[in-house]
């Protein structure tokens, strides 16, 4: 029996970029209700030459420029100044997913990222290790670091091209 062909996830960002052609906007949790209006307001303020210092519509006013959620200084958020909202949001998410597709398609163990029936993100293919001491935890972290992928770039000889996911569950016996 032949092993299934794995095509990786490199194509997902391209699918997202094309999504507005079909009237679809990625909208999970706070994207459409919270972050998209902030991106639109920031783009609108900058387009009219208004400095986005304060948001007077929230409470008694809050810092707009210094709030990381508004992403005033975050280059992918600047797409909202150039493209219509649905295209800008799709492009912004696609830019974030490009490295993930590379990590999951690098020839190492494949992980599956799925959403369960309770809308929780689950990553299948992760390893669970048990630790009974601080040195056990350190060995597990060292193991995780050893299987990460690094590639040379013009800025760094061992630039990281992968992310580590570490979840700790503490169980207290007898309680």
Question: Quick check: 135 pLDDT over 80?
Answer: yes
Give tens-digit pLDDT for 60-114: 788 888 888 888 888 888 999 999 988 898 888 888 777 765 555 555 555 677 7
Q: Choose the weakest-confidence range: 26-35, 98-107, 127-136.
A: 98-107
The full set of domain ranges for the chain reads 12-124, 127-175
Per DSSP, the residues of 80-149 read HHHS-HHHHHHHHHHHHHHHHHHHHTSSS---EEEE-TTS-EEEET------SSHHHHHHHHHHHHHT--
Q: Is the pLDDT of residue 146 over 80?
A: no
Q: What is the mean pLDDT of the chain?
A: 76
pLDDT over 60 at 4, yes or no: no
């Amino acid at each position: 029996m032949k092993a299934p062909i794995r095509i990786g996830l490199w194509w997902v960002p391209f699918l997202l970029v094309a999504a507005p052609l079909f009237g679809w906007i990625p909208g999970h949790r706070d994207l459409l209700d919270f972050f998209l209006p902030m991106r639109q307001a920031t783009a609108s303020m900058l387009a009219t030459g208004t400095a986005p210092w304060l948001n007077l519509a929230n409470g008694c006013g809050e810092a707009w420029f210094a709030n990381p959620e508004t992403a005033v200084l975050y280059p992918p958020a600047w797409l909202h100044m150039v493209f219509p909202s649905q295209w800008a949001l799709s492009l912004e998410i696609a830019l974030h997913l490009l490295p993930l597709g590379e990590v999951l398609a690098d020839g190492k163990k494949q992980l599956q990222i799925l959403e369960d029936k309770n809308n929780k993100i689950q990553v299948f293919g992760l390893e669970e290790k048990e630790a009974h001491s601080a040195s056990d935890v350190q060995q597990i972290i060292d193991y995780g670091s050893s299987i990460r992928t690094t590639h040379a770039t013009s800025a760094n000889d061992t630039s990281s091209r992968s992310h580590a996911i570490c979840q700790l569950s503490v169980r207290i016996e007898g309680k």
